[in-house]
Amino acid sequence: MPSSSSKLSSRARSSSVSQPSTAKTTPESKGSSTKKRPRTGHEEPTAAAGTPVSPVSKQRPPPVTDDTHVDTDDENDFYQERPEYVEHTYSYIQDQLRELVGLQLPEDKVYTAEKPGLIRKFAEDHFDFKNLFSNDDEEILARLREMSVHSALLIGCVANGGPRSVKGWLEIFTEPFERQALVSGIIGKVLEEHVFASLCFGATPKQLEELHKEIDLKHRDYPHDGFTRAQLRYERIRKIIQKATNPTTNPFGLPPDFIATSKRLAWQLFTVLEPIYALKAGYSAAPTTSPTSPTSKSRRRQPSWSELRAGSSGDAQRDLVADLYTIVVRAGILSLHMRLDPTTVYFGVCAGKDEYWDEKAMRAYNYRYMIKTNPFTNMPESDGTDEIEAQRRKAQCQLALVRMALFPGWQAFKKGGWRSEDKEKGMRVCELGRQWVSLRWGRQRRWKSPEQKAKRLVELQKKKKGKGKGRAKAVDTSEEDEELGWEEWLTIWGEGKPGSKAALDKIKDWFSWNVPSEEFESEEEMSVDE
């Protein structure tokens, strides 16, 4: 069953005035237009049996007290019983979400993980290595720059290096705990965009196109809404599954391309995560190439992760893909359950990087670490010196901020209220799970204009331009430097990389367009706009 907070959240939105559940309409009062008032604790006098009742003069109704509006855990607060779907459907959805991201319980004010979840367990099993292939920042950056632009963009969307520029990003890749959080965030973002955002995960491209055109585009305007589209989508998905079900080839009633889509997405996830896994020492037995000459003092070039793939052990690759496939399949089945609920709209709310920590809406991957490293509780005692006082002032300004957004929190929306006459009035919401994040201590960034960002990027490039082999080393910036988010990471990734400028320009085009393409506009709409 949903948690108590979910119940209270759902009830609080359903009705502002509580009604007794024992209030029933007698046969004599069925035709009466006067509605019963909520019971306020004052009993009205009744006539004795057999005694004629004299007409009662109209009196002002008793004032509505604060107790009338109080909603408690008592089921008698509503004259209608709670709908069954709250007890059954939501509990199943919550259980499946917890299977993916785990469950944490507040026991000793330090959230102890009762069940780590498939995503976190995968990150702990495969990305908890401490020994890297090299301890040199330049070589690590060179290895990371060999990832594709899509992998780099995905990492930039999930994580934030913080105010330390390149060193902050290197910390995410080299520290085991931060690396595990990054891997969890990459998987969570891919599942959010490619599984839960799919209209029918596992349907064929033609079926998805029909769902998009005939339901989402055709019924996107008033008087249709998300609940209308959910009902129509449910009917279409049922037909897709019924048509694809076969006792021999598809006995589980899945969409026709469910298995193939899950396998493809698992391999794509492996491709994204492999450059991070290639930082592990001993990932391959392939020897490093020798310098250009015996007397050369240049560094020995490490093989790229694409070169390592052929020489690496097949067991590690097989285990990675198998675990990723399990995660994708579980998420795909959960996505289908959400789409097959005709009266509910499920919505994922993802935390933004650098947002303030909100314990009611978020759960932290590194909660215990944040408590241990709290700068306010660990700040030095005052001794009157300027240095210590400056440290104390700086510690008091440190706040818990979101460094990585790992997985969205989920909400379930139902149309109308609990009562029969409120079925078409408003909507109610139930919180199914909190946003999953990784935190850091620091100050929230200040937003810049595009011109200021471009100027700061130029300054960052100038700092890195130097002579000799130390050109690509990490530059430690001051705490006053303002952060650039994913743009800064892509600049680091593209430094000295052939063709990186064209790739970065292409990414800018992705985020700069604001005109819908032809597939989103019909001929009638275009003629009206003209």
pLDDT at 423: 73
- Domain-located, residue 515: no
Determine the Cα–Cα distance for residues 381 and 230; give it in Å rounded to an integer. Answer: 59
pLDDT at 391: 72
- Domain-located, residue 472: no
pLDDT at 104: 66
Q: Number of folded domains in the chain?
A: 1
Determine the Cα–Cα distance for residues 86 and 428; give it in Å rounded to an integer. Answer: 12
Amino acid letter, 465: K
- Domain-located, residue 243: yes
- Domain-located, residue 186: yes
- Domain-located, residue 205: yes
- Domain-located, residue 167: yes
491, pLDDT greater than 90: no
To 5 degrees, how large is the angle CA 291–CA 296–CA 298? 70
Q: Which domain holds residue 342?
A: 84-106+113-284+312-354+406-437
| Inter-residue contact 381 to 395 (CB < 8 Å) | no
Cα–chain center distance at 165: 25
Nearest C-alpha neighbor of 23 from the set 39, 34, 11? 39
Determine the Cα–Cα distance for residues 267 and 325; give it in Å rounded to an integer. Answer: 8
pLDDT at 291: 38
Q: What is the pLDDT of residues 47-105, one digit of tens each?
A: 444 445 455 455 555 554 444 444 444 445 444 555 555 455 688 888 899 999 987 65
Q: How does DSSP assign 147-171, residue by residue? A: S-HHHHHHHHHHB---TTHHHHHHH
> What average pLDDT does range 470-493 have in this prediction?
51
Q: What is the pLDDT of residues 227-285, one digit of tens each?
A: 889 999 999 999 999 998 888 888 888 999 999 999 999 999 999 999 999 999 877 63
Could you identify the residue written with the tokens 């490293």?
373
Give the strands of the sheet with 409-415, arranged side by side: 344-349, 409-415, 427-433
122, pLDDT greater than 70: yes
> What average pLDDT does range 479-490 have in this prediction?
54
- Domain-located, residue 189: yes
**Average pLDDT over the chain, rounded to whole?**
72
Higher pLDDT, 71 or 495: 495
Counting every residue written for the chain, the total comes to: 530
**Is the C-alpha dihedral spanning 115, 121, 124, 125 positive or negative?**
positive
216, pLDDT greater than 70: yes
> What average pLDDT does range 288-294 have in this prediction?
38
State how far the alpha carbon of 9 is from the alpha carbons of 12, 15, 91, 342, 449, in Å: 5, 11, 15, 22, 39
Rounded to 10 degrees, the C-alpha dihedral 182/183/184/186 comes to 90
- Domain-located, residue 155: yes
Out of 8-12, 38-42, 65-69, 310-314, give the one with best mean pLDDT.
Answer: 310-314
151, pLDDT greater than 50: yes
Q: What is the CA radius of gyration of the chain?
A: 30
Q: What is the pLDDT of residues 17-30, one digit of tens each?
A: 333 343 444 434 44
Instruction: Break the chain down into helix, strand, coil percent, rounded to 5.
Output: 50, 10, 40
**% of the chain residues with pLDDT over 70:** 60
pLDDT at 92: 86
Q: What is the pLDDT of residues 378-415, one digit of tens each?
A: 776 777 777 777 777 777 778 889 999 999 999 999 88
Higher pLDDT, 508 or 382: 382
> What average pLDDT does range 355-380 have in this prediction?
85
Model confidence band, residue 445 (pLDDT cutoffs 50, 70, 90)? low
522, pLDDT greater than 50: no
